[in-house]
């Protein structure tokens, strides 16, 4: 029962944020490129997280299983 309550509160919170933020979107540029007002640090973080996506995560798991624990250093180089 507690799980249903927690998930329901979380989903209601997300819907509330979505409705609040959707009122600020007026043009296509606001939606697609955030009104061209994204700070550089956020843009860099987004690009890095996109580059090191799930393919890298699952690929590293497979390589580590095949080649051993030392293969994890391969992915650490991408973060540096």
pLDDT of residue 78: 64
Collapsed DSSP state (helix, strand, coil) of residue 24: coil
Could you give the 3-state DSSP secondary structure of residue 23?
coil
Do residues 37 and 52 lie in contact, with contact meaning Cβ atoms separated by under 8 Å?
no
- State pLDDT tens for residues 13-71: 999 999 998 888 888 888 888 888 889 999 888 888 887 777 777 888 888 888 888 87
């Amino acid at each position: 029962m507690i799980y249903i309550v927690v998930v329901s509160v979380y989903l209601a919170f997300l819907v509330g944020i979505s409705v609040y933020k959707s009122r600020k979107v007026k043009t296509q540029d606001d939606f697609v490129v955030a009104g061209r007002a994204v700070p550089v640090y956020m843009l860099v973080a987004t690009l890095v997280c996109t580059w090191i996506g799930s393919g890298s995560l699952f690929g590293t798991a497979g390589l580590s299983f095949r080649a051993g624990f030392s293969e994890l250093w391969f992915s650490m180089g991408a973060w540096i």
